[in-house]
Structure 1
Amino acid sequence: MKIAFYGSSLVSAYWNGAATYYRGLLRALSARDYDITFYEPDVYDRQKNRDMDPPDWAKVVVYDGTIEALKAVTAKASEADIVVKASGVGFEDDLLLAELLTSARPDALKIFWDVDAPATLAELKAAPDHPLRKALGQLDLVLTYGGGDPVVNAYRSLGAADCIPVYNALDPETHHSVAPDPRFTADLGFLGNRLPDREARVEHFFLEPASRLPQQRFLLGGSGWEDKPKSENIHAIGHVSTRDHNAFNVTPKAVLNISRASMAENGFSPATRVFEAAGAGACLITDYWEGIELFLKPDEEVLVVRDGQDVADIMAGLDTEKARQIGERALSRVLAEHTYDHRAELADQIFRTHGGRREAAE
C-alpha cells in the first residue's frame, strides 16, 4: 500500500522533536512493504540543519514554503491508499489539511496523526470553529503518539470517528549503547530545548537539585539555556546533534527526562527521550506521569521522581553499579516490548482494520 505522509521533517531533527518517531515508525512500516512518500516544507532552517540523508526506505519530497508548492504536493495525495496529515507541520497546517481532504481518493484511508495531542486539543478547546475540529468528521481516524484514555476520549467527544495511540518507541538501529564520551561526563544529564511549557519544570527537577548538590556535575544540553541563571556545577553545552545522543545518554551516571507540563498532565505520554535513553542502557530518572508502568517498571527499570527533592535524594545515594543495573533492565524491557517494529505491527493492524471497514461500508 502507498502512504502519502505530510509532516514537519524526516531528514532534520532541528526544532523537530517528532523526527525520531517518524524515522523509527516509517522505517518499520517500510519493512512491511508499505511504499512511503514523506512530504515536508522547507521552513525553520530545517533543511540547512539536516542530520540524515534521504533514506532508502522512504521517498522524501521537500517543497518550498509557498501556497503554490503546497497545492502541488497535496495533489499527489490522489496516488496514495493512505493519506496522513501530521500535526505541527509548520507551514499552513489548516490549508494543508483542507487540500489533502480534497485531493485524497474517496477510497483512501484519511488519517490525522497527532504528535503533540495535548497542545492540539488545547487549541481545539479554545476555538470551537477551528478548521481541524470541523474536519474531524471527514477523517477516518486520529492516531496519536501519546495520551492514553484522556486524549482518546477528548478526540471522540469532538467528533473523531476513532482515536488510537501509537506510542513512541525504540529504534535499535539508531539508539543503542556506545563508548562513553568525555564531553558528556557528568553525574546527571538532561537534554531538552528551552520551551515555555517545560521551563518551570526544568527549574524544579534539574536546576534546583543541582544547586543542592554542589559537589556533583550536572550536564544541560539543548538550545535556549545560555542566559538562564544556573549554579556553577551545571555545564550547559547547547544544541546536541542526534548523532551524539547515544553518547550523551551512556556517559553520565544517570539521565533525566522532564515532560512538558501538558504531557505530564495528560499522562500516558512517554517522550522519545525515554526510549532513546533506555535503548542506550542508560539509568533513566523521569518525572512522574500516569501510565509510566505500562512502559518501564518504577524502581527497577526506571527511577520516578515527583519533585526536585526526589531528584536530589536519588542522586545523593545513586552508585554506579545500581545505575548500571537499572539501565540494563530498561534496555531488556524496551527491546522485548517497545521497539518501532512493535509499533509498526500495531499500525499495520489499524490500517488494515479501518481500511477493511471502509471497503465494507462502500
Structure 2
Amino acid sequence: MKIAFYGSSLLSSYWNGAATYYRGLLQALSKLGYDITFYEPNIRERQQNRDMEPPDWCRVVVYDCDSASMKHATEQAADADVVVKASGVGFEDSELLQLVLNAARPETLTIFWDVDAPATLAEIDRDREHPLLRELSRIDLVLTYGGGDPVVYGYRARGALHCIPVYNALDPLTHHPVAADPRFAADLAFLGNRLPDREERVETFFFGAASLLPDQTFVLGGSGWSSRSLPDNVRYHGHVPTRDHNAFNASPKAVLNVNRQSMASNGYSPATRVFEAAGAGACLITDSWAGLDLFLAEGSEVLVARDGKDVADILNRLTPAEAAKIGEAARQRVTREHTYAHRAEQVHQILSGFLPKQHTEAAE
C-alpha cells in the first residue's frame, strides 16, 4: 500500500520537533509493508542542517518553496492509497492541504495528521474562517500526536468525521543507553527549543530551579536561547542534533521535561523527549499533566514537579543510585509498552478499518 506523507521534515530535526515522531513511526510502518514517500519543503535551513540522509525505508522528496514545485509535489498524491497532510509543514500549509485533497483519488484515504492539536484547535477558535475548518468535511480521518479526549472531542465538535490519537513512542534502535559524555555532565539537563508557548514554563521549572541551587550544575540545549541571560551554573549548548540525544540524556543525574502550556493544559500529550530520555535510561523529572500515568508511573518510573521549587527539592534528595533505578524502570516500561512498533500496529489497525481489505492485506 502506498502512502504519500506531506510533513515538515524527515531529514532534519532543526526547528522541527516532529522529526523523531515521523522517523520512528514511518520506519515501523515500512516494516509492516507500507510503501512510503515523504514530501518536505526546502525551508528554514533544514536541508543545511540534516541529521540523517534519505533512508532505505522511505523515499524522500524535497521540493522548493514556490507554487509550481509545491503543485508538482502534491500531484503525486494521485498515485497513493493513503494521503497524509501533517500540520505545521511551514510553507503555505492551507494551500498545501487543498492541493493534496484535490489531487487524491475519490477512493484514496485522506488523513490530516496533527502534531500540535491543541495549538491547531486554538487557531480554529480564533478564526472561524480557518481553512482547515472548511476542509474537515473532506478529510476522512484526523490523527493526532496526542491530546486524549479533549482533542478528540474538540475535533469532532468542529466537524471532523473521526479523530484518533497516536502517541509518541520509543525507537529502541535510535534511543538507548550510552556512556556518559562530559559535555553534558550536570545535575539536571533540559532540551527544548525556545517557543512562546513554553518559555514561561521553562523559566519556572528550569531557570527557577537553577536559581535555587547555585551549587548544582545545569545544561540547556535547544535553539533560540542564546539571547537569554543565563545563570552562572547553566551551560548552553544550542541545537543538539539527534545523534547526540542519547549522550545528552544519559550524562546528567536527571533530565527535565517541560511541556508547552497548550500541551500541559490538554494533557495526554507526552513529548518525544519523554520517550527519548526513558529509552536512554535517564531519570526523568517532568511537569505535571493529565494522562502521565498511561505512560509512566509517578515515583517509580518518573518524578513529577509542580514548579521550580519542586524540581530543586527533587534534585536535593535524589541520589545517583536512585536516579539510575528510576531511569532503568522507565526504560523497561517504554520498551515493553510504548515503542513505535506498537504505534505502527495501531495505525495499521486504524487503516484496516477504513480501507478495502485487499489494500491492508497487501501491506502485511
Do they fold alike, i.e. is TM over 0.5?
yes
The aligned amino acid for 2:153 is N
The aligned amino acid for 1:12 is S
Equivalent position SS for 1:210: helix
Equivalent position SS for 2:38: strand
Question: 1:354 Cα deviation (Å)?
Answer: 1.5
Equivalent position SS for 2:33: coil
CA distance in 2, matches of 1:95, 1:209: 44
Equivalent position SS for 1:238: coil
Matches within 5 A, 1:61-100: 61-100=61-100
1:24 aligns with 2:24: yes
Question: 1:229 Cα deviation (Å)?
Answer: 2.6
CA distance in 1, matches of 2:193, 2:126: 26
Question: What is the total number of aligned residue pairs between the two structures?
Answer: 358
Report what 1:225 is aligned to: 225
CA distance in 2, matches of 1:236, 1:32: 41
Matches within 5 A, 1:154-303: 154-303=154-303
Equivalent position SS for 1:85: strand
Question: 1:225 Cα deviation (Å)?
Answer: 1.4
The aligned amino acid for 1:313 is D
Question: 1:174 Cα deviation (Å)?
Answer: 0.7
Equivalent position SS for 1:43: coil
Deviation per CA, 1:62-104: give whole Å up to 9, x if none. 0010100111011110100000000000111111111111110
Deviation per CA, 1:262-303: give whole Å up to 9, x if none. 100010000000000000000000000000000000000000
Report what 2:355 is aligned to: 355
CA contact (8 A) 2:14 2:239 kept: no
CA distance in 1, matches of 2:73, 2:193: 31
Matches within 5 A, 1:78-157: 78-157=78-157
The aligned amino acid for 1:234 is V
CA distance in 1, matches of 2:49, 2:237: 18
**TM-score, reference length from structure 1:** 0.98
The aligned amino acid for 2:97 is L
CA distance in 2, matches of 1:209, 1:297: 23
The aligned amino acid for 2:331 is L
Paired-residue identity, % = 65
Equivalent position SS for 1:249: helix
Which segments of 5 or more consecutive residues in structure 1 lack a partner in the other structure? none
CA distance in 1, matches of 2:154, 2:35: 32
Question: 1:356 Cα deviation (Å)?
Answer: 4.2
Which segments of 5 or more consecutive residues in structure 2 lack a partner in the other structure? 360-364
CA distance in 2, matches of 1:113, 1:237: 31
Equivalent position SS for 1:78: helix
Deviation per CA, 1:164-212: give whole Å up to 9, x if none. 0000000111111111101111000001111111111011001011111
Report what 1:318 is aligned to: 318
Deviation per CA, 1:223-245: give whole Å up to 9, x if none. 22122133211111211111100
CA distance in 1, matches of 2:291, 2:347: 21
The aligned amino acid for 1:8 is S
The aligned amino acid for 2:74 is T
CA distance in 1, matches of 2:188, 2:9: 30
Report what 2:362 is aligned to: none
> Structure 1 residue runs of 4+, over 2 Å off?
none
Equivalent position SS for 2:237: strand
Matches within 5 A, 1:331-342: 331-342=331-342
**TM-score, reference length from structure 2:** 0.97
Equivalent position SS for 2:355: helix
Question: 1:17 Cα deviation (Å)?
Answer: 0.4
Please say which of residues 232-241 and 20-29 is displaced more in the overlay.
232-241
CA distance in 2, matches of 1:160, 1:354: 15
CA contact (8 A) 2:178 2:247 kept: yes
CA distance in 2, matches of 1:181, 1:338: 26
The aligned amino acid for 1:2 is K
